[in-house]
Structure 1
Amino acid sequence: MPTSALRYYDELGLVRPTARVAGRRRYAASAVTDVSVIRFFREIGFSLAEIGRFLAGERQDRRGMIDHKLAELTEQQHRIEVARAALEHGRQCPAGEPMKCSRFRAIIEGRQRGRSVEESHARAH
């Protein structure tokens, strides 16, 4: 792990050094686990601010944060599925060129009118 990341985590209060020797931060062996927890939460979509709140929070707060993140991920997954369907259509469109495809253009025009990608896609089909 880059030392700059450890310094940044220290600034955010996520991982604290136990001492300084000749100006260098020294961490307890438990810091390895702390950094692993931070990296895990980053990999599953938490921001560093969310991780800080999660680590500092009470059990009930943590459950609420997990529920919130699950809802975010569900919404993100839905947007990805809609985007994938639109792109798959663009790739397989009988017109051969997405920008000449009436359905693909209808989706774009629907977005210009303020519809969601999902609604525009549904109306185009």
Structure 2
Amino acid sequence: MNDDRRPLSGDALEQAMAMIEKGQQLAGHFPDAEALGRARGILDGSLTYEGAAAQLEAKYGFPVLRPRRPSRLSPDEHDRRRQIVDEARVSTALEGGRASDAVHELQDRWAAGEITWEQMHAGVRRLHPSTADPPET
């Protein structure tokens, strides 16, 4: 994962934490002090995504991040895609959830450059259609 993210402090950190907590509440989630502490640690640089994932794996008993697979992409693009996938998985786990193995497989294939973003999105929609989608004919 790319470690060139700048840690937050002071007002910027507090504003980001307020946005995280309020966003979660608006989505119907009410993170506890432990979850918010993990988010703070990631933002202030005292906790890595891998460290947060390890804590969540120990707490919930299932893997949050999967082992890296070989990539067809440049190292920078692969790192960027892995970070996107890892952040999504950690965010979901912070809420106490977990995407299905089939969704993880699609995410891993996208991060490795095996499929496009559009193919990944279409695969997720096939696995988990929305009631807003028109019925198939």
TM-score w.r.t. the length of structure 1 is 0.28
Q: Higher strand proportion, which one? A: 1
